[in-house]
Amino acid sequence: MSQNTSYPKASAAKRSNSPSSVPRVLSVEDLSPILKLAPTSIRHYTGNSETLGHLLPKWFKLPGGRRLLWLEEDVLAFIQSGIDATIPEKPRKRGRPTKAEQVRNAALVFTRTKN
């Protein structure tokens, strides 16, 4: 017995959702050719977000998910803004300064007191 059930076609489903109502979401694989970065580099930057997170647009994960996602409008805004990819200054290390740092600091103090 054959059942005569009709399923809506994909084209009909696409027409019902207008592009402005549903934002386009990009994955790492989609973002890679846009930014001309390898997918592994993108994952590395997001994993080290304290030092490298400024090199990528704002990302998010769906609740309960592990996949990195970006909104297309955020990616386009990031590219348009031309954010300068400057590396933030590293925080000062704890503990005793190295010998090279001690010599440099002593030289700075000496030149300040000499003038």
Q: What is the pLDDT of residues 62-111, one digit of tens each?
A: 999 999 999 999 999 888 887 555 556 777 778 898 999 899 988 888 77
pLDDT of residue 43: 93
- What are the two backbone dihedrals, phi and then psi, of residue 111, each rounded to the nearest 5 degrees? -70, -30
What the block records as the tokens of 38 is: 């390898």
pLDDT of residue 80: 84
Instruction: Grade residue 52 by pLDDT with cuts at 50, 70 and 90.
Output: confident
pLDDT of residue 88: 62
Under 8 Å between Cβ of 69 and 59: yes
Under 8 Å between Cβ of 75 and 31: yes
Which CATH architecture fits 22-85? Orthogonal Bundle (1.10)
Q: Decide if pLDDT at 27 tops 90.
A: yes
